[in-house]
Every structure is written in structure tokens, then in C-alpha cells.
Amino acid sequence: MSAFDCVTAARANDRPTSIDYITRIFGDSFFELHGDRRFSDDKAVIGGIAELNGKPVTVIGLEKGRNLKERMERNFGSAHPEGYRKALRLMKQAEKFHRPVICFVDTSGAYCGIGAEERGQGQAIAENLMEMMTLKTPVLSILIGEGGSGGALALAVADEVWMLENAIYSVISPEGCASILWKDSSKTAEASECLKLTSQDLFKLGVIERIIREPKGVESKLFDSLKNLIADTFDKKSRISPEKLIEMRYSRFRKF
């Protein structure tokens, strides 16, 4: 599979979105929480509390929507500053109540628009990076589709970052890269190769800890195994003292 095939697969309309992961892994236990308490409720970010093997966890996801209506409502998964602030509010809450945080990342990037700039898109992302670095509770991020630049990183300063086999994670979209490099945004395939954005490439670079295989046609297998993996990881991480945990998180990013 070429890098560009991965890009296509990561963006496919029928790919499971954060809501699918939340429903299939946490079932009815998920209770959604809304709003950033400052401006509004950004529907590109879905968040709440759920139960995993009887233990409470905070769940946050960038949600693209599963049909056109949902996609419009959720701004195609491109969050505004209030989305990142909602995510941070829920993470701080998780820290307070000593429950781990799981983030599902799927976005082409943070939204570029007038309102987003007026309300400090850069500041909102920067604050998440800073605060997540010292969040005194385990954080796990899973890139399930597209991981578009700062808008994805704002939910991926974690103790471990995992990636679905066909997900992508990149500093710039292949189209953006091609238009800067060759003044031709149609050279997406070449740009995809150059950017080293596939799960294999990122594993080699040490950017992710784990690649999650995508069994063909049997999604239930994926969700079941993922659920166990998440539960095991949180069990292990919760045995580490918060001080040691944030020391390890700092080292994880310090090495780049």
C-alpha cells in the first residue's frame, strides 16, 4: 500500500469515526458533556465520561460526522478554539477525579476561519500542548483517521500515541505540501511519500508506540481488541506515580 493509498483510506467516508469507537468500546456507559464554559459548544469535539471494565475514564474525540448532515454540523471535524478549550476542560476534570483520558484523533486540521482566529486558535492549541504535558493522570491518544497538524497534536500530547494501520499523521496536508513544493496541489501522491505520514513511517521515527491492525470486514474484532488494549494500558499507567508519569511524558517528547 502506497502512502497515497493510506491518505485515501484515512479520509474514506465509510471509515469509523470517533462516535463509532466510543459507542462500540464504551457502549451505553458514555455520558456526553458539553461546552467550554467560555464561548460555546463545539460539535467537532465530542467528550464525556464512560466506564471501561468498571472503571471511569474521560473520553474525548474529534468527530467528523458520518453523513453529510452530521458532517456539516460537526464542521467536518475541524475544531474551533472552543473545541480545544472544551477538551482541556474535560482533561482538567479527569485530573481532578483521577481518571485516565483517552483521545480519538480524526481531523484534517484545526479550522481556518475568521471566528477561529478572533477567538485565538493558536492560543487554544498552545495551551493544550502546555497543560497536557503536565496533566497528572494517564493520557492515551489514538489516531483513527486523519491527524492534521497542530489541530491533531492538541489532543495528542500523551503518554502513548497509537495509530490505526491506515491512519495518517502529518505536519501539513499532502495537497498543501504539493502546492508549496511544486506549485501544483494535484501532486498529492508524491507529497504523501515525502512527508512520511503513514503508521509504518511514524513507528520507525518513534512518533507512535503502537500500530493497530485493521482486520478487513470484521470491525467488531478491531473494537474488542482495542478495548482490551486500552484497559491494559491504563492499568499499567495507573500504577505509575503522577510525578513519574509526567517525567516520562516530558522525556517522550524531549527526544524529538
Partner 1 sequence: MDERYEIQIGKVCVLSTKDMLFNFLKPKNELENQGEFAENHPYIPEELWVKCPVCKNAILSSDLVENHKVCPKCNYHFRIAARQRIEMTVDEGTFNEMDAEMTSVNIIDFPDYPRKLRSAKLNSGENESVITGTAEINGEKCVIAVMNSQFMMGSMGTVTGEKITRAFEYATVHSLPVVVFTVSGGARMQEGILSLMQMAKTSGAVKRHSDAGLLYITVLTDPTTGGVTASFAMEGDIILAEPHALIGFAGPRVIEQTIRQKLPKDFQSAEFLLDKGFIDAVVPRNDMKSTLAKLIRLHTESKEEEAETDECV
Q: Which residues bind partner 1 (CB under 8 A)?
A: 110, 112-114, 116-123, 125-127, 129-131, 133-134, 149-150, 153-154, 157, 169-172, 177, 180-181, 194-197, 202, 205, 207, 249-250, 253-256
Question: Least separation, in Å, of the C-beta of 239 and partner 1?
Answer: 23
Q: Is the CB of 126 or the CB of 211 nearer to partner 1?
A: 126
Question: Least separation, in Å, of the C-beta of 5 and partner 1?
Answer: 18
Q: Is the CB of 31 or the CB of 253 nearer to partner 1?
A: 253
65: β partners: none
Q: Is the CB of 52 or the CB of 178 nearer to partner 1?
A: 178
Question: What's the grid cell of residue 112?
Answer: 481556518
Q: What is the dihedral of CA 64, 70, 74, 78, to 10 degrees?
A: 30
Question: Residues near 5 by Cβ (< 8 Å), separated by ≥ 6?
Answer: none
CA distance 44 to 108: 11
Question: Least separation, in Å, of the C-beta of 200 and partner 1?
Answer: 13
Question: Least separation, in Å, of the C-beta of 124 and partner 1?
Answer: 8
Return the number of other C-beta atoms located less than 10 Å from residue 190's C-beta. 17
CA distance 229 to 232: 5
Q: Is the CB of 220 or the CB of 241 nearer to partner 1?
A: 241
